[in-house]
Structure 1
Amino acid sequence: MGVVAVLVAALAGFAMGAVWYMALSKPWIQAAGIEVDETGRPKNGSPLPFVIAGICMILVAGMMRHIFAMAGIETLGESLVAGLGIGLFFITPWVAMNYAYAQRPFKLTILDGGYSILGSAVIGLVLGLF
């Protein structure tokens, strides 16, 4: 059952990202400095980022499940709060630090950090359902 929980949680986190970045695509593309074609889509698009994102979601969901099991996080509320905490206090600060060194716009930190927080919360919520 653990593998199913991880895969479903990863899919939910990926889907959350699709919704997040579709809703915020224009400000994200601008903040990231990505060149677009005449239709507003990124030039030289590749499916590789989506493949990498899918693999990373499985890794994150798998490690979150492991951490939850070791910490005795079992309820829906506990898993949601733990997911929020992971996004807010682990992933987003790391993104902010990397973007600061890379001199990326703070707006990009906010956009990607927001997804880190909500995506981790969704993964935590789904893991709590199992």
Structure 2
Amino acid sequence: METVKVLVAAAASWVWGAVWYMTLSKPWLRAAGIECDPDGKPVGGSSPAPFILSALCMVLVAGMMRHMLTMSGITTVGGAMVTGAGIGLFFIAPWTMINNAYGMRPFTLTLIDGGYAVAGCTIMGLVLALF
């Protein structure tokens, strides 16, 4: 049951990421410095690798979050969501900001990617607590 819980939490966050980045695709592409063709699609086509890697990474994050919630004795929906939001806001988003700052990327990229980390981890916490 724990494996299913982790997989569902990862899938929920991954699907949220699809919605998030489809909604913010134009500003994200600009901020990331990705060249687009006249149709607005990235030059050079697309690869399934980022989608596969992101799904695998969501499983890793959800698995560690489940472990942290269990070890901390957090069982309520609110507690799990706050923990997830905290992981996104205080662990992942700052690390993203550091990487983007050294890469001299626009702060907009940090807001988009960090925002996804916060929302995605909050969703993971919600799903993990509901099972």
TM-score between both structures, scaled by the size of structure 2: 0.97
Q: Which runs of 4+ in 1 moved over 4 A?
A: none
Question: How many angstroms apart in 2 are the aligned matches of 1:17 and 1:38?
Answer: 25
Q: 1:68 is paired with a residue of what secondary structure? A: helix
Give the alignment of 1:6-25 within 5 angstroms.
6-25=6-25
Give the alignment of 1:32-111 within 5 angstroms.
32-44=32-44, 45-111=46-112
Q: Residues 66-119 of structure 1, C-alpha deviation per residue, up to 9 Å, x if partnerless?
A: 000000010111101100000000000010011111111111011101001000
Asked if 1:124 is matched to 2:125, the reply is: yes
Q: Which amino acid aligns with 2:123?
A: V
Q: 1:64 is paired with a residue of what secondary structure? A: helix
Question: How many angstroms apart in 2 are the aligned matches of 1:33 and 1:46?
Answer: 17
Q: Which amino acid aligns with 1:35?
A: E
Q: Which amino acid aligns with 1:50?
A: F
Question: How many angstroms apart in 2 are the aligned matches of 1:32 and 1:106?
Answer: 10
Cα drift, residue 126 of structure 1: 0.4
Question: How many angstroms apart in 2 are the aligned matches of 1:27 and 1:103?
Answer: 16
Q: Which amino acid aligns with 2:75?
A: E
Question: How many angstroms apart in 2 are the aligned matches of 1:49 and 1:35?
Answer: 17
RMSD: 0.7
1:113 aligns with 114
Cα drift, residue 38 of structure 1: 2.2
Q: Which amino acid aligns with 2:64?
A: M
Aligned length, in residue pairs: 130
